[in-house]
Amino acid sequence: VQLVESGGGLVQAGGSLRLSCAASGLPFDDYALGWFRQAPGKEHEGVSLVTSSDGTSYYRDSVKGRFTISSDNAKNTVYLQMNNLKLEDTAVYYCAQGFIVSYCSGYGCNKLDGRYVRFQSWGQGTQVTVSS
């Protein structure tokens, strides 16, 4: 699986950015793609996930109402529209193939809208910097 992110940049607090992720080599027609982020000195944290089968989306609590994930299955592309950005959103954002699992814990485990998610096969990342 190859994932190529784009769309990061520098934005003032309250501004917006749209990230894109072009995927290739996905082994199945039914898959889930999403985003996680990592700020300097912090562990990575899952941000959002969308399933290709029915477009169900999942979010971490801190971005609900501000971020929207969407997908274009014909283009194998996932987008993350980020509005009302806050200083704490500053991080490198990675697009990744995600798997919803029945349970996980520890490093690499994420919880989005009450579902456990593990990410794998991520891209090179794109920097998002929110300034005051």
pLDDT digits (tens, 9 = 90+) for 49-65: 999 888 899 999 999 99
Taking residue 126's Cβ as centre, other Cβ atoms within 10 Å add up to: 22
Alpha helices by DSSP H, 39-86:
none
CA–CA distance from 123 to each of 1, 12, 46, 55 (Å)?
A: 9, 25, 14, 21
Give the pLDDT score at 11. 98
Residue 114: the pLDDT is: 94
Query: How far apart are the C-alpha atoms of 18 and 23, rounded to whole Å?
Result: 16
Q: Sheet harboring 67-72: ordered strands across?
A: 2-6, 17-24, 77-82, 67-72
According to the model, what pLDDT value does residue 106 have? Answer: 85
Residue 98, pLDDT score:
92
- At 73, is the pLDDT very low, low, confident or very high (cuts 50, 70, 90)? confident
